[in-house]
Amino acid sequence: MTSAFFIQLRRELGAIYNSPMAYVIFFFFTFIAGSIFYNNLQFLEMGARISVMQMFFLGVWFWMCLLIMIPLLTMRLFSEEYKTGTIELLLTAPVSDWDIVLSKFFSAFLFYLTLWAPTVVYLLVFQWVTGGEIPVKIPNTLLCYLLVVLVGAFFVSVGLFASSLTRNQALAAFTTFALLLGLFFLGLLGLNMEESKFTAFMEYISCYQHMRNYLEGIFDSRPVIFYLSGTLLFLALTQRLMAVKKLKS
Protein backbone atom coordinates (compact mmCIF):
# COMPACT_ATOMS: atom_id res chain seq x y z
CA MET A 1 0.00 0.00 0.00
CA THR A 2 1.52 3.24 -1.10
CA SER A 3 0.97 6.62 0.46
CA ALA A 4 -0.96 7.64 -2.65
CA PHE A 5 -3.45 4.90 -1.78
CA PHE A 6 -4.13 6.33 1.68
CA ILE A 7 -4.39 9.90 0.38
CA GLN A 8 -6.82 8.77 -2.27
CA LEU A 9 -8.75 6.62 0.22
CA ARG A 10 -9.24 9.68 2.41
CA ARG A 11 -10.51 11.61 -0.57
CA GLU A 12 -12.91 8.81 -1.53
CA LEU A 13 -14.26 8.51 2.00
CA GLY A 14 -14.72 12.28 2.05
CA ALA A 15 -16.67 12.05 -1.20
CA ILE A 16 -18.97 9.41 0.30
CA TYR A 17 -19.60 11.27 3.53
CA ASN A 18 -20.16 14.51 1.60
CA SER A 19 -22.90 12.99 -0.49
CA PRO A 20 -26.53 13.03 0.65
CA MET A 21 -26.87 9.50 -0.70
CA ALA A 22 -24.68 8.18 2.12
CA TYR A 23 -27.04 9.54 4.75
CA VAL A 24 -30.13 8.32 2.93
CA ILE A 25 -28.63 4.84 2.78
CA PHE A 26 -27.54 5.00 6.39
CA PHE A 27 -30.98 6.11 7.51
CA PHE A 28 -32.87 3.44 5.60
CA PHE A 29 -30.49 0.67 6.49
CA THR A 30 -30.67 1.46 10.18
CA PHE A 31 -34.44 1.88 9.97
CA ILE A 32 -35.02 -1.39 8.16
CA ALA A 33 -32.55 -3.39 10.25
CA GLY A 34 -34.13 -1.97 13.40
CA SER A 35 -37.63 -2.80 12.19
CA ILE A 36 -36.67 -6.37 11.35
CA PHE A 37 -35.14 -6.80 14.77
CA TYR A 38 -38.14 -5.32 16.55
CA ASN A 39 -40.53 -7.54 14.60
CA ASN A 40 -38.44 -10.59 15.33
CA LEU A 41 -38.53 -9.89 19.03
CA GLN A 42 -42.30 -9.79 18.86
CA PHE A 43 -42.38 -13.12 17.07
CA LEU A 44 -40.27 -14.48 19.84
CA GLU A 45 -42.78 -13.28 22.38
CA MET A 46 -45.49 -15.10 20.45
CA GLY A 47 -43.46 -18.26 20.90
CA ALA A 48 -41.80 -18.70 17.51
CA ARG A 49 -39.56 -21.74 17.34
CA ILE A 50 -36.70 -20.27 15.36
CA SER A 51 -34.06 -17.95 16.71
CA VAL A 52 -33.96 -14.22 16.24
CA MET A 53 -30.67 -14.59 14.41
CA GLN A 54 -32.25 -16.96 11.91
CA MET A 55 -35.16 -14.65 11.36
CA PHE A 56 -32.85 -11.74 10.85
CA PHE A 57 -30.19 -13.15 8.56
CA LEU A 58 -32.40 -15.50 6.57
CA GLY A 59 -35.30 -13.10 6.18
CA VAL A 60 -36.29 -11.63 2.83
CA TRP A 61 -35.85 -8.09 4.11
CA PHE A 62 -32.23 -8.52 5.06
CA TRP A 63 -31.28 -9.73 1.57
CA MET A 64 -33.45 -7.18 -0.23
CA CYS A 65 -31.77 -4.53 1.82
CA LEU A 66 -28.29 -5.73 0.78
CA LEU A 67 -29.20 -6.13 -2.87
CA ILE A 68 -30.62 -2.62 -3.12
CA MET A 69 -28.16 -0.83 -0.87
CA ILE A 70 -24.91 -2.01 -2.47
CA PRO A 71 -25.73 -0.74 -5.98
CA LEU A 72 -26.69 2.66 -4.56
CA LEU A 73 -23.47 2.74 -2.61
CA THR A 74 -21.16 1.84 -5.48
CA MET A 75 -22.84 3.46 -8.48
CA ARG A 76 -20.99 6.78 -8.31
CA LEU A 77 -17.48 5.43 -7.65
CA PHE A 78 -16.27 5.52 -11.26
CA SER A 79 -19.33 6.71 -13.21
CA GLU A 80 -19.21 10.14 -11.63
CA GLU A 81 -15.51 10.58 -12.45
CA TYR A 82 -16.10 9.60 -16.07
CA LYS A 83 -19.14 11.85 -16.34
CA THR A 84 -17.52 14.99 -14.91
CA GLY A 85 -14.13 14.31 -16.47
CA THR A 86 -12.36 14.30 -13.12
CA ILE A 87 -10.89 10.93 -14.03
CA GLU A 88 -8.38 13.00 -16.00
CA LEU A 89 -7.28 14.64 -12.73
CA LEU A 90 -6.64 11.23 -11.23
CA LEU A 91 -4.92 9.65 -14.18
CA THR A 92 -2.51 12.56 -14.68
CA ALA A 93 -1.49 12.57 -11.01
CA PRO A 94 1.26 10.18 -9.93
CA VAL A 95 -1.15 7.46 -8.77
CA SER A 96 -1.17 3.93 -10.15
CA ASP A 97 -4.36 2.37 -11.50
CA TRP A 98 -4.33 -0.13 -8.66
CA ASP A 99 -4.18 2.65 -6.07
CA ILE A 100 -7.27 4.18 -7.63
CA VAL A 101 -9.20 0.92 -7.85
CA LEU A 102 -8.31 -0.16 -4.31
CA SER A 103 -8.99 3.23 -2.74
CA LYS A 104 -12.43 3.34 -4.33
CA PHE A 105 -13.14 -0.23 -3.29
CA PHE A 106 -12.08 0.26 0.31
CA SER A 107 -13.96 3.54 0.67
CA ALA A 108 -17.25 1.87 -0.26
CA PHE A 109 -16.39 -1.25 1.73
CA LEU A 110 -15.55 0.73 4.87
CA PHE A 111 -18.79 2.64 4.56
CA TYR A 112 -20.60 -0.68 4.23
CA LEU A 113 -18.96 -1.86 7.45
CA THR A 114 -20.00 1.28 9.33
CA LEU A 115 -23.59 0.55 8.30
CA TRP A 116 -23.33 -2.69 10.22
CA ALA A 117 -21.74 -1.26 13.31
CA PRO A 118 -25.02 -0.18 14.99
CA THR A 119 -26.45 -3.70 14.71
CA VAL A 120 -24.02 -4.85 17.39
CA VAL A 121 -26.24 -2.87 19.76
CA TYR A 122 -29.10 -5.26 18.94
CA LEU A 123 -27.22 -8.10 20.60
CA LEU A 124 -26.93 -6.08 23.79
CA VAL A 125 -30.60 -5.12 23.59
CA PHE A 126 -31.48 -8.75 23.09
CA GLN A 127 -29.55 -9.71 26.20
CA TRP A 128 -31.25 -6.99 28.15
CA VAL A 129 -34.79 -7.78 26.94
CA THR A 130 -34.49 -11.48 27.61
CA GLY A 131 -32.69 -10.88 30.87
CA GLY A 132 -29.90 -13.17 29.69
CA GLU A 133 -32.21 -16.17 29.77
CA ILE A 134 -31.48 -17.03 26.16
CA PRO A 135 -27.72 -16.86 25.76
CA VAL A 136 -26.39 -15.36 22.52
CA LYS A 137 -24.33 -17.96 20.72
CA ILE A 138 -21.09 -16.11 20.24
CA PRO A 139 -19.46 -18.40 17.59
CA ASN A 140 -22.58 -18.41 15.43
CA THR A 141 -22.87 -14.66 15.68
CA LEU A 142 -19.24 -14.14 14.74
CA LEU A 143 -19.60 -16.45 11.76
CA CYS A 144 -22.66 -14.51 10.59
CA TYR A 145 -20.79 -11.25 10.80
CA LEU A 146 -17.82 -12.80 8.98
CA LEU A 147 -20.15 -13.70 6.16
CA VAL A 148 -21.67 -10.23 6.16
CA VAL A 149 -18.15 -8.85 5.72
CA LEU A 150 -17.23 -11.31 2.97
CA VAL A 151 -20.47 -10.95 1.04
CA GLY A 152 -20.13 -7.18 1.34
CA ALA A 153 -16.61 -7.17 -0.08
CA PHE A 154 -17.69 -9.29 -3.02
CA PHE A 155 -20.85 -7.31 -3.75
CA VAL A 156 -18.99 -4.00 -3.51
CA SER A 157 -16.36 -5.23 -5.98
CA VAL A 158 -19.13 -6.19 -8.42
CA GLY A 159 -20.63 -2.71 -7.98
CA LEU A 160 -17.26 -1.07 -8.52
CA PHE A 161 -16.81 -3.01 -11.73
CA ALA A 162 -20.28 -2.05 -13.00
CA SER A 163 -19.57 1.58 -12.17
CA SER A 164 -16.41 1.54 -14.25
CA LEU A 165 -18.41 0.30 -17.25
CA THR A 166 -20.48 3.44 -17.75
CA ARG A 167 -20.66 7.14 -17.07
CA ASN A 168 -24.36 6.78 -16.26
CA GLN A 169 -24.85 6.24 -12.52
CA ALA A 170 -28.38 4.88 -12.85
CA LEU A 171 -27.19 2.32 -15.38
CA ALA A 172 -24.29 1.34 -13.12
CA ALA A 173 -26.68 0.83 -10.19
CA PHE A 174 -29.08 -1.21 -12.27
CA THR A 175 -26.30 -3.40 -13.71
CA THR A 176 -25.02 -4.12 -10.21
CA PHE A 177 -28.53 -4.89 -8.99
CA ALA A 178 -29.16 -7.24 -11.92
CA LEU A 179 -25.85 -9.07 -11.44
CA LEU A 180 -26.32 -9.50 -7.69
CA LEU A 181 -29.97 -10.47 -7.96
CA GLY A 182 -29.07 -12.99 -10.67
CA LEU A 183 -26.41 -14.52 -8.46
CA PHE A 184 -28.75 -14.61 -5.47
CA PHE A 185 -31.61 -16.35 -7.27
CA LEU A 186 -29.27 -18.73 -9.08
CA GLY A 187 -28.14 -19.81 -5.64
CA LEU A 188 -31.74 -20.33 -4.49
CA LEU A 189 -32.61 -22.42 -7.55
CA GLY A 190 -30.93 -25.49 -6.16
CA LEU A 191 -32.86 -25.45 -2.90
CA ASN A 192 -35.85 -27.53 -3.94
CA MET A 193 -34.24 -29.74 -6.55
CA GLU A 194 -33.03 -33.30 -6.38
CA GLU A 195 -29.38 -33.48 -5.57
CA SER A 196 -27.09 -33.40 -8.57
CA LYS A 197 -23.89 -31.75 -9.76
CA PHE A 198 -26.00 -28.74 -10.63
CA THR A 199 -27.41 -28.33 -7.14
CA ALA A 200 -23.94 -28.78 -5.68
CA PHE A 201 -22.74 -25.89 -7.76
CA MET A 202 -25.76 -23.81 -6.83
CA GLU A 203 -25.08 -24.49 -3.22
CA TYR A 204 -21.47 -23.47 -3.68
CA ILE A 205 -22.38 -20.03 -4.98
CA SER A 206 -25.50 -19.46 -2.87
CA CYS A 207 -25.03 -16.72 -0.30
CA TYR A 208 -28.27 -17.83 1.29
CA GLN A 209 -26.95 -21.35 1.84
CA HIS A 210 -23.68 -20.00 3.16
CA MET A 211 -25.58 -17.92 5.69
CA ARG A 212 -27.67 -20.92 6.73
CA ASN A 213 -24.61 -23.03 7.41
CA TYR A 214 -22.82 -20.30 9.30
CA LEU A 215 -25.91 -19.62 11.40
CA GLU A 216 -25.82 -23.17 12.61
CA GLY A 217 -22.26 -22.60 13.67
CA ILE A 218 -20.75 -24.73 10.94
CA PHE A 219 -17.60 -23.13 9.62
CA ASP A 220 -16.93 -23.93 6.02
CA SER A 221 -13.86 -22.47 4.34
CA ARG A 222 -15.26 -22.72 0.83
CA PRO A 223 -17.37 -19.55 1.00
CA VAL A 224 -14.35 -17.65 2.32
CA ILE A 225 -12.34 -18.71 -0.73
CA PHE A 226 -15.31 -18.05 -3.01
CA TYR A 227 -15.91 -14.48 -1.84
CA LEU A 228 -12.25 -13.50 -1.58
CA SER A 229 -11.38 -14.81 -5.03
CA GLY A 230 -14.56 -13.27 -6.46
CA THR A 231 -13.61 -9.91 -4.96
CA LEU A 232 -10.10 -10.12 -6.40
CA LEU A 233 -11.47 -11.13 -9.79
CA PHE A 234 -13.77 -8.12 -10.02
CA LEU A 235 -11.08 -5.74 -8.75
CA ALA A 236 -8.69 -7.06 -11.41
CA LEU A 237 -11.40 -6.75 -14.07
CA THR A 238 -11.96 -3.13 -13.02
CA GLN A 239 -8.26 -2.36 -13.28
CA ARG A 240 -8.08 -3.98 -16.73
CA LEU A 241 -11.14 -2.07 -17.85
CA MET A 242 -9.53 1.22 -16.82
CA ALA A 243 -6.57 0.44 -19.08
CA VAL A 244 -8.84 -0.55 -21.96
CA LYS A 245 -10.91 2.62 -21.55
CA LYS A 246 -7.75 4.68 -21.82
CA LEU A 247 -6.90 3.04 -25.14
CA LYS A 248 -10.35 3.64 -26.53
CA SER A 249 -11.01 7.14 -25.25
Partner 1 sequence: MIKVTGLHKKYSGLEAVAGISFEVDQGEIVGFLGPNGAGKSSTMRMLTGYLPPSAGEIQIAGLDVLNHSLEVRKKVGYMAENVPLYTDMYVGQFLRYRAALKGVKSKDIKQRVDDSLEKCGLADMRMKMIGNLSRGYRQRVGLADALVHDPDLLILDEPTAGLDPNQIRSVRDLIKELGEKHTILLSTHILPEVEMVCDRAIIINRGRIEASDTLENLSRKVQSGSLNIEIKASAQNATEKLKQLDVLSSVRLKSDKDGWVMLECLSKPGSDPREAVDNLIKTQNWPLREFHHNQARLEDVFVELTQE
Contacts of 232 (CB under 8 A, 6+ apart): 157
Residue 121: count other Cβ atoms within 10 Å of its Cβ.
Answer: 11
Shortest Å distance, C-beta 81 to partner 1: 9
Q: Which spans of this chain sit near partner 1 (rule: CB under 8 A)?
A: 3-4, 7-8, 10-11, 14-15, 18-19, 84-89, 91-96, 246-247, 249
Q: CA-to-CA distance for 112 and 179, rounded, in angstroms?
A: 19
Closer residue to partner 1 (CB): 19 or 114: 19
Distance of CA 170 to the CA centre of its chain: 18
Shortest Å distance, C-beta 240 to partner 1: 14
Shortest Å distance, C-beta 4 to partner 1: 6
Closer residue to partner 1 (CB): 89 or 225: 89
Q: Do 238 and 161 meet the contact criterion of CB atoms below 8 Å apart?
A: yes
Shortest Å distance, C-beta 144 to partner 1: 35
Shortest Å distance, C-beta 239 to partner 1: 15
Shortest Å distance, C-beta 72 to partner 1: 17
Burial 18-42 (b: 16+ CB within 10 A, else e): eeeebeebbeebeebbeebbeebbe
Closer residue to partner 1 (CB): 10 or 222: 10
Shortest Å distance, C-beta 246 to partner 1: 6
Burial 192-205 (b: 16+ CB within 10 A, else e): eeeeeeebeebbeb
Q: CA-to-CA distance for 99 and 38, rounded, in angstroms?
A: 42
Distance of CA 8 to the CA centre of its chain: 21
Closer residue to partner 1 (CB): 51 or 239: 239
Closer residue to partner 1 (CB): 84 or 196: 84
SS3 at position 168:
coil
SS3 at position 48:
coil
Closer residue to partner 1 (CB): 102 or 202: 102
Closer residue to partner 1 (CB): 93 or 134: 93
Give the start-end residues of each E strand in the chain: none
